Structure 1
């Protein structure tokens, strides 16, 4: 979830290079998906499975929607408010097909079977705002935007451990402003965690977290910012939804694309998507068949207007 107007861009001029992600929808896939036509849904998180199932959360109701990537309309999967899930942000699946949902200001991590059966409900400390998450073979890691904590729940077969404060604000190189996006490398050894900062230009950061040593360092980011809302890692390319001034006193949103070095200690922003207006307020993103999709949350819209949608990220060719 984006904190309103979270951070300004450090630089607006980018070197545009071929980054290998076509923008045209593959045959048989829509370029727009309707999450809901109901008022006030405000979608936030998204994931697309290898089998082509899309899940999208609602931060205002806690509902989770599901659909086939080849069909333009999603349908309710987990009802709003069920199991105390009155808000929902980040969402991901694991190799078992389990669905992990970060419950934002409920301070709760929810885990469901592919059929929608509640498998686990893990609660953090009071006051936590569980925003985004990533699942490895050994654990699930969840960012907490309210306290600057990265929470961890161990995974052992079908068992989901308790949520524990694995990295606190004091363990980070600088006091976090608003922890948000998180991704992990394919081998599960490293995570990248985005801090959107305080809203002051240059306060946003990207952290490299060693998941075995339990340490965090700042990634040197050149050419732009990666203190993003949603993050997506594909090989050495890191994608992040960022916001920045539009030059007219307002704000735009876009996806920045960065190339990471081999050790994930440095990143160079090389491309930016076409911008989206403040009213659209895209949050998180997912990859499907070589294209990128983002969630149009309308979190900053004065009057959110249905339908609430997921669309292709424009202008990354």
Structure 2
């Protein structure tokens, strides 16, 4: 979930991003008949034809099952990468899940879902049954994105700047507890967002949108030692990563969905930056950028599918007149 959510949803108390609100019918994310170059796979997936869905999070399993969350309603949709249309999986509002943002599966066949301003972490089986519901104790919590390691799940909180942790042991899912507080970061976070972790589960990288001022140095990427509960800032060169909503870590390659400087329309377009990390994860050098898309599309999170494609969720959260269908598409110009 990026900062633009509050521009469309002031009740969430999320920080507002300045944008013009002139009506704009965005047609680039309408259904496309074209298939991708990867074995005839769809280039566009239809998440929902219903109004107000505003999809946000995405997870794709190794077998090609795709899950997409709805920030607008809390619904979760499911499909496969070889079929163009997703279907409802978890109904909007069920189990008190009126919003849904980050989503990730674990290796025990469970789905973990961040509930944003519900303050809840929801855990489901793939048959749709609820396994657990864990609450952040801070009333200002906005649970945004999450990452799962062998022994815990870590959840970013855009509202308070807390990094929450719930221990995992077999089938047991512990309660959420503050793992890092805002004062544990080298710079107090303004809006914690995307998070990824190394395969050994010892280190996480967390993006911080800052205050949203757009000024140089306002955004940050934090390197978090998950064992000793310390944090340092990652030095990013040749581009930006701190504004990243969705992050994807593959070896020493870090992908982030970023807002670019405002274009001639006065609105910030969106792209994906690819950075190469140093071996100790203390520096990141941006080496490539995808093609950009207009603000009305507002891509949020990204995932890699079994065919090797990068897909992103077109939330339309930054669109003053979001229009169905809501889609997932291939990231243009970047692998």
What residue number does 1:312 align with?
330
Residues in 1 aligned to 2:106 and 2:70: alpha-carbon distance in whole angstroms? 20
Let me know the Cα RMSD of the aligned residues. 1.4
CA offsets per residue over residues 64-93 of structure 1, 9 Å max, x none?
A: 000011111000000000000000000000
The yes-or-no answer on 1:291 pairing with 2:274 is: no
Aligned-pair CA distance for 1:28:
3.9
What is the SS of the residue equivalent to 2:183? helix
Aligned-pair CA distance for 1:29:
1.7
CA offsets per residue over residues 29-59 of structure 1, 9 Å max, x none?
A: 2111000000110000001011211000000
Residue correspondence of structure 1 range 234-245 to structure 2 within 5 A: 234-245=250-261
Residues in 1 aligned to 2:136 and 2:154: alpha-carbon distance in whole angstroms? 12
What residue number does 1:247 align with?
263
Between Structure 1 and Structure 2, the one with more strand by share is 1
Question: Of the candidates 186, 190, 198, which is equivalent to residue 199 of structure 2?
Answer: 186
The yes-or-no answer on 1:281 pairing with 2:298 is: yes
What is the SS of the residue equivalent to 1:170? helix
The yes-or-no answer on 1:52 pairing with 2:64 is: yes
Residues in 2 aligned to 1:215 and 1:51: alpha-carbon distance in whole angstroms? 36
Q: How high is the TM-score relative to the length of structure 1? A: 0.93
> Which runs of 5 or more residues in structure 1 are unaligned?
8-22
Q: How high is the TM-score relative to the length of structure 2? A: 0.88
What is the SS of the residue equivalent to 2:260? strand
CA offsets per residue over residues 256-314 of structure 1, 9 Å max, x none?
A: 10000111110000111000101000000001122100000000111111100000000
How many residues in Structure 1 have an aligned counterpart in Structure 2? 302
Aligned-pair CA distance for 1:189:
1.1
Residues in 2 aligned to 1:28 and 1:98: alpha-carbon distance in whole angstroms? 30
Residue 263 of structure 2 contacts residue 269 of structure 2 at CA under 8 Å; is this kept in 1?
no
Residue correspondence of structure 1 range 1-317 to structure 2 within 5 A: 1-4=1-4, 25-125=37-137, 126-200=139-213, 201=215, 202-227=217-242, 228-248=244-264, 249-288=266-305, 289-316=307-334
Change (3 A) 1:299 1:208: same
After TM superposition, the structure 1 stretch with the greater mean CA deviation from structure 2, 243-252 or 141-150, is 243-252
Structure number with greater CO (CA < 8 Å, separation at least 6) is: 1
Residue 36 of structure 2 contacts residue 42 of structure 2 at CA under 8 Å; is this kept in 1?
no
